[in-house]
Amino acid sequence: MNDLPNYHYPDARGHFGPYGGSFTSETLTQAIIELREAYAHYQNDPEFIAEFERELKHFVGRPSPVYHAQRMSEDLGGAQIYLKREDLNHTGAHKVNNTVGQALLAKRLGKKRIIAETGAGQHGVATATVCARYGMECVVYMGSVDVARQAPNVLRMKLLGATVVPVESGSKTLKDALNDAMRDWVANVDNTFYIICTVAGPHPYHMMVRDFQSVIGRECLTQMPEHLGKSIGQNGQPDAVVACVGGGSNAIGIFYPYLAPPGVKLYGVEAGGKGIESGEHAASISKGSPGVLHGNRTYLLQNDDGQIIETHSVSAGLDYPGVGPEHAWLHDQKLARYVTINDDEALAAFHYLCRIEGIIPALESSHALAYAMKLAKTMRKDQAILVNLSGRGDKDMGTIASLMEGGI
């Protein structure tokens, strides 16, 4: 699934320079080796690829469209803004691209029980959906804080037959859900497949999730010339690609294919929370340092003793103290630029898109929108920005309602 002749990462051991790798307990070693060998085989297997593509087309509803946000572009007065509409996928976000691929692997490995972690609930819903589709048992770990603020997605998971396990440890958010899911996997490794939501975890997860999600960027490479022609952008492609970054799966899904075209700038937007100088944020690249968490080495938010510190974001899906190791590598190599957007800016972008384009975005995606709005004003009208609208905002209605009641 690697179409980039001059980019050969990760290496055979799962490293992106000093990042990535596989740091796991002995109990999981054999399961990781089994998964690595299976993916090495099936990623080039014509039958597997054909089934994956068929499911994306007929079950997920791909390709997702690219939409010219014309009123938004005119109102801002700068670059033309285009939205990759991952919010229109079945389940309402990009997450299902990955869960379909991993579930198909689990089927081939004979695993009948699926576990997952989730923050905003979109990955949990996508996992529960594919488990219902393929007749598998599904257990989803979710921090109790996120259970409260993402109630609609909790109900959706239960309707789809999943068992949702609230996690009460630590900050009671995504990091802690992932910890408990890892413990479950250790205890049930023989019959259980762990569908990790993001481009983190022990190798081959960060590569595997990237490959499944890169359908986003591959579609854009075909779709953008139809929109831009020769008069806008860079030879039929955008001048800039913008995506929000928590763990980073939606961002790497659109960035990876865009590492090939020359002249396209990549912007990853982290959650600035209440401001990165406040200490209440989730900006792992902007304010973090290298360390090991959840099976891989990457940038983490940690104290001087290497202990993970609590994060904050108005968006549950960006509230994670680390980032996928490939993003760490892209940052160090200056192949992508990572910036921050705070809660208030993301909320303003959320309301703006609702009212000017009739699209209700996820709060995660609103971070990318907010930065694109800033960036557009610095660019010409014959330039183009492609924003990955990674999910829809139905799940965030409770959060938005409570903030509006509070006068925000």
- 310-to-171, 313, 343 alpha-carbon distances in Å: 6, 10, 16
* The pLDDT of residue 199: 96
Q: Are 79 and 376 in contact (CB under 8 A)?
A: yes
CB-based contact 242:335 (threshold 8 Å): no
Catalytic residue among 84, 95, 175, 395: 95
Residue 5 domain flag: no
Residue with tokens 């792992």: 284
Tell me if the bond preceding 238 is cis, omega within 30° of 0.
no
Question: Do 142 and 287 belong to one domain?
Answer: no
Q: Does a structural domain hold residue 122?
A: yes
Name the 3-class secondary structure at 300: strand
Q: What pLDDT is stored for residue 266 in this prediction?
A: 98
Measure the CA–CA gap between 211 and 222, rounded to whole angstroms: 17
Q: Which domain holds residue 156?
A: 16-56+95-209
Report the run of H or E that residue 397 belongs to, with start and end.
Answer: helix 397-405
Are 387 and 344 within one domain? yes
Q: What is the mean pLDDT of the chain?
A: 95
Segment 341-385, tens digit of pLDDT: 999 999 999 999 999 999 999 999 999 999 999 999 999 999 999
Q: Please state the φ and ψ torsions of residue 276, each to the nearest 5 degrees.
A: -70, -20
pLDDT over 80 at 128, yes or no: yes
Higher pLDDT, 76 or 152: 76
Task: Identify whether 11 is part of a domain.
Answer: no
On whether the CB atoms of residues 265 and 385 are closer than 8 A, the answer is no
Residue 95 falls in the annotated catalytic set: yes
* Neighbouring-strand partners of residue 322: 300
Same domain assignment for residues 169 and 270: no
> Are both 179 and 265 inside the same structural domain?
no
- 240: CB partners within 8 A, 6+ apart: 79, 264, 265, 266, 267, 372, 375, 379, 383, 384, 385, 386
On whether the CB atoms of residues 308 and 319 are closer than 8 A, the answer is no
Strand order in the sheet with 137-143: 163-167, 137-143, 113-118, 192-194
- What are the residues whose beta carbons fall under 8 Å from the beta carbon of 261, sequence distance 6 or more? 221, 234, 235, 237
10 in a domain, yes or no?
no
- 155 CA to centre of own chain: 22
Is position 117 annotated as part of the catalytic site?
A: yes
Is 374 found in the same domain as 261? Answer: yes
Q: Which residues contact 177 (CB under 8 A, 6 or more apart)?
A: 117, 118, 119, 141, 142, 143, 146, 167
Number of domains forming the structure of the chain: 2
280 & 167 share domain: no
pLDDT tens digits, one per residue of 314-351:
998 998 999 999 999 999 999 999 999 999 999 999 99
Question: Which of 167, 183, 209 is the C-terminal boundary of a domain?
Answer: 209
Identify the domain boundary among 169, 184, 209: 209
**The predicted structure's pLDDT at residue 9:** 95
In this structure, is residue 300 part of a structural domain? yes
pLDDT value of residue 175: 87
**Catalytic option among 249, 313, 366, 390:** 390
Domain CATH for 123: 3.40.50.1100
Residue 139 and residue 122 share a domain = yes
Q: Are residues 260 and 327 in the same domain?
A: yes
Of 187, 209, 231, the position where a domain reaches its end is 209
Q: Is residue 3 part of a domain?
A: no
| Same domain flag for 285 and 378 | yes
Q: Are residues 399 and 301 in the same domain?
A: yes
What is the pLDDT at residue 5?
65
Q: 159 and 273 share a domain?
A: no
pLDDT digits (tens, 9 = 90+) for 245-279: 999 999 999 999 999 999 999 999 999 999 999 99
394 belongs to a structural domain: yes
- Does 40 share its domain with 171? yes
Summarize the confidence of residues 210-237 as an average pLDDT: 95
Task: For 306-353, give the DSSP string.
Answer: SPBPP---SSGGG--SB--HHHHHHHHTTSSEEEEEEHHHHHHHHHHH
Q: What is the mean pLDDT of residues 118-146?
A: 96
| Two structure tokens written together for 165 | 């396990």
Q: What is the dihedral of CA 82, 88, 94, 97, to 10 degrees?
A: -120
**Residue in 55, 86, 117, 326 annotated catalytic:** 117
* Full 3-state SS string of 354-375: HHHHCCCECHHHHHHHHHHHHH
Q: Is 1 a residue whose pLDDT tops 60?
A: no
Is the pLDDT at 3 greater than 70, yes or no?
no
Residue 7 lies in a domain: no
- Note whether 258 and 4 are within 8 A (CB): no
